[in-house]
Amino acid sequence: MSGTGNVTPLRGTEERAREHAHAAGQAPQTPPARPEPRQRVGPARWAADLATGARFAVSGGRESWTRTLLTAVGVGLGVALLLIAAAVPHIVSARDDRTSARSYTNSYSSDVKPGPDTVRLGFGSTTYRGSDITGLLLAPDGDRPALPPGVDRIPATGEMVVSPALKKLLADGDNKLLRERLDYKIVDTIGDEGLAGPAELFYYAGVGPDAVEDVSSRLDHWGVNSPTQEELDPVLLLLIVVGCVVLLLPVAIFIATAVRFGGERRDRRLAALRLVGADSRMTRRIAAGEALVGSLLGLAVGTGIFLLIRHFIGGVAVFGTSIFSSDVQPSAAITTLIMVAVPTCAVVVTQIALRSIAIEPLGVVRNTAPKPRRLWWRLLFPVLGLALLLPRLSSGTGNSGDASVYQIAAGAVLMLVGITALLPWLVEAVVNRFGGGPVPWQLATRRLQLSSGAASRAVSGITVAVAGAIAITMLFAAAESDNTTSTGQDPTRADVVAYIPVDTGAQARDAIAQYTGTKGVRDALGVTEGMVSDPNSKAKAPGDIPVQSVMVGDCRTLKELARIGDCRDGDVFVTKPAEFDDKDTYFTQPGATVNLSFDKDYNPSRSKPLLWTIPKSTPIVDLKKDPQGNEHSGILATPGALDIADLDKPSVQMMLRLDPKVPDAIEYARNTAARLSSQSDIYELRGTKQSDEFQTIKRGLFIGASATLLLIGASMIVSMLEQLRERKKLLSVLVAFGTRRATLGWSVLWQTAIPVVLGLALSVAGGIALGAILLKMVDMPIAVDWASVTTMTGIGAGVILLVTLVSMGPLWRMMRPEGLRTE
């Protein structure tokens, strides 16, 4: 087994001649000095040496082009991910431009007067099997209505235009429930310019004016006039910055690792070049030429992979987020930087690697241990990182502009790079203390003692990824608690709450009956709510007349709205004023007379008032929040005390308990709501909710982490294959001498496991330290989620174990005597 130690020259002819002369008692003859060959200098010499290295990379036989191909694939994987990352700003910008162009928030107003270009707008959004479907109901006032982007005409009543993804979903035979809900005729599809992404579920439906009569607002144009950017929460900003660092740094590390593939064979080839007259500087330039070819081919491979991903990315949706292929356009400046930085990085890394190698004519590599690695310069990276991050502990991340963001990013990069730099030293320091043991253990530890650099580089990417993931997990937990708020809803009392607008009491009774008979509804409580006014008010304008709610339902339903005791049909209750009620004008008291002829728009609904007197014996009860967390103050009446037919334009609130044994129970409930009214609202109750910004960042980090993890797995497979290729002859020799394959297999596993265990231990310590600093920076309590730390560490170990198992097949094929053949 050979390592990467110093190379020493064999004794030359002149030295042997001097020894023979000394033995014969003769004065040694000094041979005449040979004239140094004249060498070209400047760009011509550089170009010639680089061209020589390039020829070796592509025409040096199977070994050379195999190494070049592995390097190109490794570099290409990293380049592809960097190009995708460079396209993210344009993806976000294009998506925002399209959603802003179809927005109605700036034009949707009750101040817009009817005209030939105005459109009344209703809302038909729904959810189907966990996927959100956005729908707008359009009722044009004239013959030239404003058109949303991607639509040629407003659909007629009963028609709709849909996104291609929704059209495909509706055409699926398993989605009968959705077709029943969206009972419109599809007449066209929405163009790309009117959609956020290719997988978005979106539609515009044409309805009659009566379908949106409860919505008095109109619009006369689409699009946001002056979009404003809200300042992002410092915790979320920090999460984005650190997330980008953690996701992209392993890519850069692997690119630097890939350009060092086949280093030992390259060194022996360069030693042969010294024999034919090349000096040390020339060999470095030739090595740079080889690295340059591999990196340039890597750029080509990466560009090809990027274009392939770009072509198929339009058919992929993650967490409901999809991207148009045309949006994936990397920034020209960043693309240029990548195209320049990757070859430069390849050359620089190669030159740094050659500094520890002494390449001489007919050189042989010593089988002794190399010079111990130095620790002091490796500690500079985390120290500098701390120096950048510690000043932010007092000032945080806000109100400092881009300088703060760059400073935090640089500090995180330096700390994570420090973990990578410390790993080879730690592996060497530990394995040098290993002694005896079983044969597989000795083979593995001896290999690591001779050359631990390749093994350390192979796991450096996963080490950085795990350290960064632990830091993000700590910050993520803090951000999640800070961006998660209570909704006030109680899912233990009801699964779903639905609101249905109705015109008459008969419709209210029908709505309650339909929900009671809906498939999958285990229990249904319905209350009909209307408005009553004070007939004794002296106010002249309808909007100034005091109004209060009246709710009609059975006793079980009323007990969900107030704290009432005994109850039977025919009873009436009056609640105490709610917190939002005006105590001075609160008129619903026992014995008071109220006017039932008042609709929910606070307008008189009849020419003559319909008076009703609250019984004097009516008890006053305390309020109780309903399952959705709302308070309903006013009059509570059972059907025997007040006929809901006397209420004008009431609304029905249903509180439903679903049967968990019935698949799609929530979908049946939504279909009932859509069948009753296109303006129905139905909500699943949840105890907590998260901010939209946090959910967006969460989805983005998940998508980025998935892509990075795939890259790390693929890159480690390439790296493992390269290491096995380097050891092909050694493995064949051991098998030829009778070494069992199982022994060699276990040795490869131990050789991988030792750096992995040390790397993961280092990543846990570094990740917790970085996470603690970041939490302190945003003034959040420092807490370590050990379950998440264990999960992240387990994922990292699992990836490496999987890569090792995948490499067993090639390992078994390489352990054959045929591997001793050479060309």
- Reduced DSSP (H G I as helix, E B as strand, rest coil) percent helix, strand, coil of the chain, to 5: 50, 15, 35
Question: pTM of the full predicted structure?
Answer: 0.74
| Per-residue pLDDT, 106 | 65
Q: Which residue has the tokens 């005091």?
A: 546
Rounded distance, CA 645 to CA 530, Å? Answer: 11
The residue ranking higher by pLDDT, 132 or 603, is 132
User: Is 458 in the same domain as 373?
Assistant: yes
Domain's final residue, options 666, 690, 714? 690
User: Is 281 in the same domain as 418?
Assistant: yes
User: Is 477 in the same domain as 547?
Assistant: no
User: Is 379 in the same domain as 479?
Assistant: yes
Rounded distance, CA 656 to CA 522, Å? Answer: 7
| Per-residue pLDDT, 151 | 94
Supply the DSSP string of 123-188, one letter for each residue: E--EEETTEEEEEEEEEESSSSPPPPTT-SSPPPBTEEEE-HHHHHHHHSTT-HHHHHHS--EEEE
- Supply the range of the domain harboring residue 626: 496-690
In a domain, residue 623? The reply is: yes
Tell me the mean pLDDT in the region 264-281: 70
Beta bridge partners of 621: 575
Please provide the size of the chain in residues.
823
pLDDT over 90 percentage in the chain:
25
pLDDT in tens, 276-295: 677 778 878 888 888 888 88
pLDDT in tens, 415-441: 888 888 888 888 888 888 887 788 888
Supply the DSSP string of 655-670, one letter for each residue: EEEE-TTSTTHHHHHH
Q: Hey, is 41 helix, strand or coil?
A: coil
CA-based radius of gyration for the chain = 37
Instruction: Round the average pLDDT of the chain to a whole number and report it.
Output: 80
Rounded distance, CA 353 to CA 375, Å? Answer: 17
For residue 21, is pLDDT > 50?
A: no
**Amino acid identity of 199?**
A
Q: Which of 211-215, 587-591, 616-620, 761-765 has the lowest mean pLDDT?
A: 211-215
pLDDT in tens, 535-551: 888 776 766 788 889 99
Domain's final residue, options 219, 243, 269? 219
User: Is 593 in the same domain as 646?
Assistant: yes
Tell me the mean pLDDT in the region 24-37: 45
Rounded distance, CA 530 to CA 646, Å? Answer: 9
DSSP state of 458: H
The residue ranking higher by pLDDT, 496 or 436, is 496
Q: Are 804 and 749 in contact (CB under 8 A)?
A: yes
Tell me which H or E stretch contains 572.
strand 572-575
Band of residue 775 on the pLDDT scale cut at 50, 70, 90? confident
| Per-residue pLDDT, 105 | 74
In 3D space, the residue among 602, 607, 595 whose CA is nearest the CA of residue 533 turns out to be: 595
Band of residue 204 on the pLDDT scale cut at 50, 70, 90? very high
Domain's final residue, options 690, 713, 731? 690
User: Is 639 in the same domain as 752?
Assistant: no
Q: Hey, is 613 helix, strand or coil?
A: strand
pLDDT in tens, 222-231: 987 555 555 6
User: Is 296 in the same domain as 208?
Assistant: no
Rounded distance, CA 381 to CA 230, Å? Answer: 35
Rounded distance, CA 137 to CA 121, Å? Answer: 6
DSSP state of 764: H
Number of structural domains (the chain) is 3
For residue 32, is pLDDT > 70?
A: no
What are the CA-CA distances from residue 410 to residues 244, 246, 816 (Å)?
11, 12, 49
Rounded distance, CA 288 to CA 285, Å? Answer: 5
Strand (E) positions, 618-728? 620-623, 634-637, 651-658, 681-684, 688-690
Q: What is the 3-state secondary structure (H, E, C) of 304-330?
A: HHHHHHHHHHHHCEECCEECCHHHCCC
pLDDT in tens, 69-94: 878 887 888 898 889 888 888 888 89
Q: Which residue has the tokens 């009659």?
A: 208
Rounded distance, CA 664 to CA 73, Å? Answer: 47
Tell me the mean pLDDT in the region 253-257: 77
Band of residue 370 on the pLDDT scale cut at 50, 70, 90? low
User: Is 618 in the same domain as 478?
Assistant: no
Q: Are 700 and 786 in contact (CB under 8 A)?
A: no
Q: Are 98 and 148 in contact (CB under 8 A)?
A: no
Tell me the mean pLDDT in the region 297-303: 92
Tell me which H or E stretch contains 486.
strand 484-486
| Per-residue pLDDT, 613 | 92
In a domain, residue 289? The reply is: yes
> 572-575 and 634-637 as β-strands: parallel, antiparallel, unpaired?
antiparallel
202 burial level (CB within 10 Å; 0-12, 13-18, 19+): buried
> 688-690 and 634-637 as β-strands: parallel, antiparallel, unpaired?
unpaired
In a domain, residue 672? The reply is: yes
The residue ranking higher by pLDDT, 395 or 62, is 62
CB atoms within 10 A of CB 688: 10
| Per-residue pLDDT, 593 | 92
DSSP state of 818: G
| Per-residue pLDDT, 182 | 93
In a domain, residue 490? The reply is: no
Rounded distance, CA 456 to CA 419, Å? Answer: 11
Q: Residue 711 has which token pair?
A: 């890259």
Task: Supply φ then ψ for residue 697, to 5 degrees.
Answer: -65, -40
Q: Which of 685-694, 739-748, 788-797 has the lowest mean pLDDT?
A: 788-797
Q: Hey, is 551 helix, strand or coil?
A: strand
User: Is 652 in the same domain as 784?
Assistant: no
Q: Are 275 and 13 in contact (CB under 8 A)?
A: no
pLDDT in tens, 446-459: 878 877 776 777 67
Q: Residue 117 has which token pair?
A: 């270009």
What are the CA-CA distances from residue 591 to residues 261, 573, 622 (Å)?
92, 11, 18
For residue 579, is pLDDT > 60?
A: yes
User: Is 246 in the same domain as 209?
Assistant: no
For residue 565, is pLDDT > 50?
A: yes
User: Is 73 in the same domain as 165?
Assistant: no
pLDDT in tens, 301-344: 999 999 998 988 876 776 667 889 999 999 888 899 999 989 98
Q: Residue 558 has which token pair?
A: 């009323």
In a domain, residue 382? The reply is: yes
What are the CA-CA distances from residue 248 to residues 79, 325, 347 (Å)?
11, 22, 21
In a domain, residue 679? The reply is: yes
Tell me which H or E stretch contains 206.
strand 202-206
Which residues 6+ apart lie within 8 Å of 803 measured at CB?
713, 716, 717, 720
Tell me the mean pLDDT in the region 378-393: 86
Out of 128-137, 710-719, 780-789, the most confident range is: 128-137
Supply the DSSP string of 504-525, one letter for each residue: SHHHHHHHHHHHHTSTTEEEEE
Rounded distance, CA 612 to CA 532, Å? Answer: 9
Which residues 6+ apart lie within 8 Å of 152 measured at CB?
188
Residue 161 half-sphere exposure toward CB, CA atoms < 13 A: 19
| Per-residue pLDDT, 47 | 81
Which residues 6+ apart lie within 8 Å of 237 measured at CB?
397, 398, 405
Tell me the mean pLDDT in the region 585-602: 80
For residue 816, is pLDDT > 80?
A: no
Tell me the mean pLDDT in the region 521-536: 90
In a domain, residue 757? The reply is: yes
The residue ranking higher by pLDDT, 46 or 99, is 99
Band of residue 819 on the pLDDT scale cut at 50, 70, 90? low
User: Is 705 in the same domain as 717?
Assistant: yes
Q: Are 53 and 269 in contact (CB under 8 A)?
A: no
Rounded distance, CA 99 to CA 517, Å? Answer: 40
Q: Which of 57-66, 226-235, 583-592, 747-756 has the lowest mean pLDDT?
A: 226-235
In a domain, residue 26? The reply is: no
The residue ranking higher by pLDDT, 406 or 492, is 492
